[in-house]
Amino acid sequence: MKISAIRGATTAQSNSKEHIKAATLELYQQILLKNNLRQKDIVFIIASSTADLTQYYPATAIRLSGCDRPLFSCTEPSIADALPLCIRLIVLTKKKRATHIYLNQAKDLRS
């Protein structure tokens, strides 16, 4: 089975449950939409967030949206001048083509 990785990143407006959840779900939905993915196409999802996001797990937002695929959540290392309030997803999928998604302030991460 061929596995592809779809990358995505976004930023939350603030370190609040509501903003973390909203940013995560917007990114996840855009990854699904732009890559024409269904849940059965997903093998595994890794969610990471910068250390300044402490009020909610991005993976929890995805799980509570109805995703039944394996999820793992982790914290990014604290790096000087890193993009603050950043949430990243890697979606491992059986699809061969990947469209990576960068939203909000995370658009600056890729040209």
pLDDT above 70: percentage of residues in the chain: 98
Q: Residue 13 and residue 94: Cα distance in Å, rounded?
A: 32
Mean pLDDT of 62-66: 96
Residue 91 scores a pLDDT above 70: yes
Query: Whole-angstrom Cα distance, residue 79 to residue 84?
Result: 10
pLDDT-wise least confident of 40-49, 84-93, 94-103? 94-103
Q: Distance (Å, rounded) from C-alpha 82 to C-alpha 22?
A: 21
pLDDT in tens, 36-59: 999 999 999 999 999 999 999 999
Among residues 99, 96, 84, 93, the alpha carbon closest in space to that of 10 is found at 84
Q: What is the pTM of this model?
A: 0.91
Q: Which residues 6+ apart lie within 8 Å of 98 measured at CB?
A: 4, 5, 6, 7, 35
Q: What is the pLDDT of residue 82?
A: 87
4-106 topology per CATH: 60s Ribosomal Protein L30; Chain: A; (3.30.1330)
pLDDT range class, residue 111, cuts 50, 70, 90: low
Amino acid 47: pLDDT: 97
Strands of the sheet with 42-49, listed across from one edge: 71-75, 42-49, 86-93, 4-11, 101-102
Q: Decide if pLDDT at 110 tops 80.
A: no
Would you kindly state where each structural domain of the chain is located, as residue ranges?
4-106
